Amino acid sequence: MKQFGIIGLGKFGRRMVDELLKADVELLILDKNPEVVELFKNRVAAAYVADALNEETIRQTIPQDIDTVIVDTVDNMDVSILVTHYLRKIGIREIIAVAGTDQHGEIMEAVGATRVIYPNKEAALRIAPTLVSSALFNYFPIAENIALAELKPPEKVVGMSLIESDLRNVYGITVIAVREQEHESFSFVSGTYRLQPEDTLLVVAPGEVIEKMSHVRLSGGHTMGSKAGRGERPRGPLARFKRVFSRR
C-alpha cells in the first residue's frame, strides 16, 4: 500500500486529501491549524498539529520511506522552501510542491522538489482556451507541447469514416473516442464510423495543431483569439465601452 504525506492543508492540500482517500493508500497529514486537522484526523492514518518550520518535527513525523509528500504552504513562500529543503535532507524520494508563481516554483525545484504544481495557472490554461473558441470544449496539457482536447471535427471530414478522414496524417491529431450528439459520454468507435457535424472528438495532439483547428492561441503571443498586432489595443465591444464610459 502506498503512503502519502500532505504538509499544509491549503485548498489544494484539502482537495488532495479528499481524492487520495478514494484510493487504497495510507495518508499522513500535518498542519499547524488544529481546526483544519480536526476535519480530517478520523479519516487518515496519521494526523499531526505541528509547525513544519521545525526540522526536527519533519524528521519525527515523516517516515523516510514514504512514497510521496505534497507540500501545500503556498501562502508562505519561506515555509514552503524550508519544508521542501528539510524533506530533501531526510531523503524523501518524491516531493510535490505547490507554488503560486513561476519564480516560487523555480526556487522549490532548486531546494529539492521533484515536481511543482501551479493550481491557478494550470486551471487558467485549461479553461481560457475553451472560453475563446467555439470549436474547443476541453483542453488538458499533459506534457510539453502535447495536450488532450475535445474538438469538433473539421468540416471537410464530416460524412467521412475515420479511416477515410486520415486525421492523423492530414491534421496531426489522434482520435481516442467520439461523443455523439445524443450521448453524454464518449465511446470508442471503429475506423468505419462516419463523422457527424455535432460529434465531439477526444483527441491527443501537439498544442500548435489544436491552436490551428480551434482558431485559438494557447500559449505566448498576444491575447487569445485577437487579430491585433503587437502593441495594438483590442477593438471589441468592451474596449469601446471602456472608452465611452471613461469620457463620462
Instruction: Check: CB of residue 211 under 8 Å from CB of residue 217.
Output: yes
Helix (H) or strand (E) holding 31: strand 25-31
Could you give the angle at which helices 102-111 and 77-89 cross, rounded to 10 degrees? 20
| Protein fold of 2-117 | Rossmann fold (3.40.50)
Report pLDDT for 238: 46
Identical fold between 2-117 and 130-226? no
Domain residue ranges in the chain: 2-117, 130-226
Integer Cα distance of 147 and 141 in angstroms: 4
| Tens digit of each residue's pLDDT, the chain (248 residues) | 889 999 999 888 898 898 898 888 899 999 999 999 999 999 999 999 998 888 999 999 999 999 999 999 877 888 999 999 999 999 999 999 988 888 888 999 999 999 888 876 655 555 545 544 455 567 677 776 787 888 888 889 999 999 999 999 998 989 989 988 878 888 999 999 999 998 988 888 887 887 777 765 555 433 333 333 444 444 554 444 444 444 55
CATH number of 130-226: 3.30.70.1450
Per-residue H/E/C for 180-197: CCCCCCCECCCCCCECCC
Instruction: Check: CB of residue 3 under 8 Å from CB of residue 64.
Output: no
Write the DSSP string, 89-110. Answer: HTT-SEEEEE-SSHHHHHHHHH
- CA neighbours closer than 13 Å in the CB half-sphere of residue 180: 9
Instruction: Check: CB of residue 49 under 8 Å from CB of residue 37.
Output: yes
